[in-house]
Amino acid sequence: MFGLDNLDVLFVAWAFVFQVVSIVHFSLRKWSFSIALKYGWIVYALSLPAVVVSVLLLIGGKTWSLWLGGFIYLAWATYGYAVEYVKGIKWRAPVRWPILGPYVFLYLATVMFYW
């Protein structure tokens, strides 16, 4: 595929999966927040295969800019899951900036590394 090795293809495929899942999930939040919250844990759980992909990329000698995204995704997912599902903190309305700040930062960092 255009001179890419298997690990490059794996990264690209996983990046597309992450982007599609994110688009679907955040779109669903606009239509039915309760359904998105009910199944949102799946978005967080996908950080586990993301870490597996990152470990494979790391072991395969790929540059840090390819493998770092999965580890940041895990940090975002752990934080988000803990805030929303374990502690049940209502932080969106009213906005609780000490929670929103790290949440958005980790999410955007994850997205940046998958672009």
Length of the chain: 115
Domain ranges (residues) in the chain: 6-114
Q: Which helix (H) or strand (E) holds 75?
A: helix 64-81
Residue 1 has pLDDT above 70, yes or no: no
Q: CB 43: neighbour CB atoms within 10 A? A: 21
Closest CA to 73 of 38, 114, 26, 28: 114
Measured distance CA(93)–CA(57) in Å, rounded? 39
| pLDDT cut 90: percent of the chain above it | 73
Mean pLDDT (the chain, rounded): 92
Q: Mean of the pLDDT values across residues 36-55?
A: 92
Residue-level pLDDT at 33? 78
